[in-house]
Amino acid sequence: MEEAMDSQHTFSRRHFVGGAAAALGVAGLNPTAVIGAGLKPPPKGVEPLDPYDDLAKLSSNENPYGPSEKMLEAMKGAWKYSNRYGYPDGDILEKIAESHGVPTDHVMINAGSGETLRVAGLAFLRHEEKVVGVSPTYLTVYRTASGIDADVIERPLLPDYTQDIDDLIEVTNRNYRDVGMVYICNPNNPTGVIVPGDDIRRLLDGIPEDVPVLIDEAYHHFIEDPRYETAVPYIKEGRKVLVTRTFSKIYGLAGMRLGYGIAPPDMIDQMRDYATGSVNALVKWGGVAALEDKEYEAWIKETSNTLRDQTADVLRGQGFEVLPSETNFFMVRTGRPTAEVRAEFRKHEVAVGRDFPPMLDWLRVSVGTEDEMNRFLTAWNEIFPDGMTAADSNSRS
């Protein structure tokens, strides 16, 4: 994905404000001066959360603002159902199905999309089949496979950090009799880079139609790149596709655990025996309110994407490589071991992402509040006072 591919409606934020940030970084002036510039005020009832410690937590790709007022009110009203095993539930299954234009028998809800990924692994890899995907990526499916003695065929990313669809097609076809699933995280975690819609179609058309394809769309709501397409329409065509979504990211319900999968009914039935049914009553009502609160969703998307792009442009202005992200996080190449850099940030009370082999000199940074991103950049400027120096550049080769 290149800057030239950005849609026209993002020009003002990404290029004007971002360009100013880059210029400040090159000039050695205060690059944090533009972080937060142009942000719209939050919807009614959305206020900064009271910090429970002094840590700027930019490590887990969470929504730093928490649930909206409407979600909180819905969950507050559901306390009276705490004596029941998840019902009444606000018709959460029906609301999710309606939002995607599919029948309810195409939907399974779980305690976070991570559980849906685990359940899928147990259902489709139970006879020690192989799962095909890239590395680095989100690991729940791979860890599930390893736990049941299924093999993981991990393929490298291309030099531009996109997923090599041609390679995945070739590997899947070569191992067809043993492949139980193909896994695509779109956008990918940790890179934040999308797989364009045309490539998803090419993948589905290029492998046998009876091979399940799991497409993890946890960060779907942040995407602006017009080349991206959700894979849900393929499910409506009857393709053997499972799409997973979560309420943990844009909706701010990570601690409450709610996610779901959309797939043809036969795939849902295969997965049902492995689900725990442990979704609590409160978050079901909160999830219904989340789907209805379009104002909050739009504000989080614009705020997060603006802060991401402004911060990334400051780093680019100092000479650092930053991958073009379509998520609420980004990756920057520091030229130093990630574990070492992470420890330095911890001294500044800023938590950043873990190691993602083989990208061991790249740092994943989640997008926090305006204040947290300024704290990140303040720490960054102390850790890298000279920007990307010649010595740092040599460490890449």
User: Architecture of domain 69-292 in CATH?
Assistant: 3-Layer(aba) Sandwich (3.40)
pLDDT of res. 207: 98
pLDDT of res. 291: 98
Q: Mean pLDDT lowest for which of 31-40, 55-64, 151-160, 360-369?
A: 31-40
| Per-domain residue ranges of the chain | 3-67+295-394, 69-292
Strand partners, 322: 332
Q: How far is the C-alpha of 252 from the C-alpha of 370, rounded, in Å?
A: 17
Q: How far is the C-alpha of 158 from the C-alpha of 160, rounded, in Å?
A: 5
Q: How far is the C-alpha of 3 from the C-alpha of 14, rounded, in Å?
A: 9
Confidence band for 275, pLDDT divided at 50, 70 and 90: very high
pLDDT of res. 340: 98
Contact indicator for 213, 203 with CB cutoff of 8 Å: yes
Q: How far is the C-alpha of 158 from the C-alpha of 320, rounded, in Å?
A: 20
pLDDT value at 25 more than 70? no
pLDDT value at 191 more than 70? yes
Residues in the chain: 397
pLDDT value at 23 more than 70? no
Confidence band for 391, pLDDT divided at 50, 70 and 90: very low
Contact indicator for 363, 352 with CB cutoff of 8 Å: yes
pTM: 0.88
Confidence band for 40, pLDDT divided at 50, 70 and 90: confident
Report pLDDT digits (tens) over 276-308: 888 999 999 999 999 999 999 999 999 999 999
pLDDT value at 389 more than 70? no
Confidence band for 42, pLDDT divided at 50, 70 and 90: confident
Same fold, 3-67+295-394 and 69-292: no
Say whether 390 sits in a helix, a strand or coil: helix
User: Architecture of domain 3-67+295-394 in CATH?
Assistant: Alpha-Beta Complex (3.90)
Q: How far is the C-alpha of 335 from the C-alpha of 358, rounded, in Å?
A: 13
